[in-house]
Amino acid sequence: MRSILNITNGDCAIEIMKKAGIPGKFLPWRDVLHDGPVPIGVTLEELSKIRAEFIISRNWGEPDLIKRDFVERDNTLKSFREYEKVILWFEHDLYDQLQILQILDWFHKNNENEVKLSIICRDKYLGMLSPDEMKDLLKYEEPITEKHLMLSSKAWSAFREESPKEWSQLLNKDTSILPFLRGAVVRMLEEYPSFTNGLSRTAQQALKIISEGESLAGKVFGLSQESEERMFLGDSSFWLILQEFLDSSPALLTLPAGKKLTLPTDKEQKLTITSVGLEVLSGRKNWLDIKQQDRWIGGAHLEHTNTWCWNPGSGSIVKRA
């Protein structure tokens, strides 16, 4: 019997943990839960199928491998009784905080105090640590209590509701037992269309950076990352935002004639903001009047009859008439 199951946010962290001599088996939790459907009322296995199909639709990997990875991940999680202890190793950003909620909600429903649970979560990016720095994190390990589990279940359910109201109301709750959750709640709300111009925070950052003169997509992504309090977004998701601006009618961005946006990009793929892009950026036009919404944030399907907007001034989420 292996004594410890280590669950963490991806393969890069696992490679460093192995070099650091961290004992036990390692389970990467690779899902980008901040992007795409995460509906309520389905089992772990059903949700994994939904998530796999979404990731396949984004062309983010080979379909059979994606499906197999989810099945293997879930089977490893369900084998937790083979271990004396499960340790969650995660970060402070939105990507990780949503994963924590999903995993702890599952344990809240399935563990029944059979196996010890603990968590290591600091304001450090695990994939950027040296092996010695990773090993040093062990001193921050803390037991997961009923309070952790109850809050995680409440927040995970709120995230998966058809309306973001319950998620936004977490800002009025005491979430200090998960010290980075509040920041994740706000950052997810900021990805809803802005009350002012219909842009998510990420989209707003991208257009602003391009309007200020940066034309290379890779550098735009890097500067956008630097503006984040806690980096969470991958370049593939960022490229899809840029592509939407290129494909819209009228377009908010353009490329030189004959060029297409690729990942990785090249120096000839220079992005230019259009006059319409500048109008949207300034709030004189609304992105929602140009591009019909059809995307998911958790359990909320944003489309023309169900568009929610974030008002940072009042700190409120409101449904667009």
Radius of gyration of the chain measured on its C-alpha atoms: 20
Residue 78 Rama label (left phi>0; alpha psi -120 to 50; beta):
alpha
As given in the structure block, the two tokens for residue 307 are: 């568009």
Instruction: Please state the domain extents for the chain.
Output: 4-163, 201-292
Taking 60 as the threshold, does the pLDDT of residue 1 lie above it?
no
Per CATH, the architecture of 4-163 is what? Answer: 3-Layer(aba) Sandwich (3.40)
Quote the DSSP letter at residue 194: B
Cis preceding linkage at 28, omega within 30: no
> Among 186, 174, 168, which Cα is nearest to 232's?
186
pLDDT 10s digits, 21-68? 999 999 999 999 999 999 999 999 999 999 999 999 999 999 999 999
- CA 260-262-264 angle, to 5 degrees, is 150
pLDDT 10s digits, 73-104? 999 999 999 999 999 999 999 999 999 999 99
What's the predicted TM-score (pTM) here? 0.96
pLDDT band at residue 2, thresholds of 50, 70 and 90? low
> Where does 201-292 sit in CATH, by number?
1.10.10.10
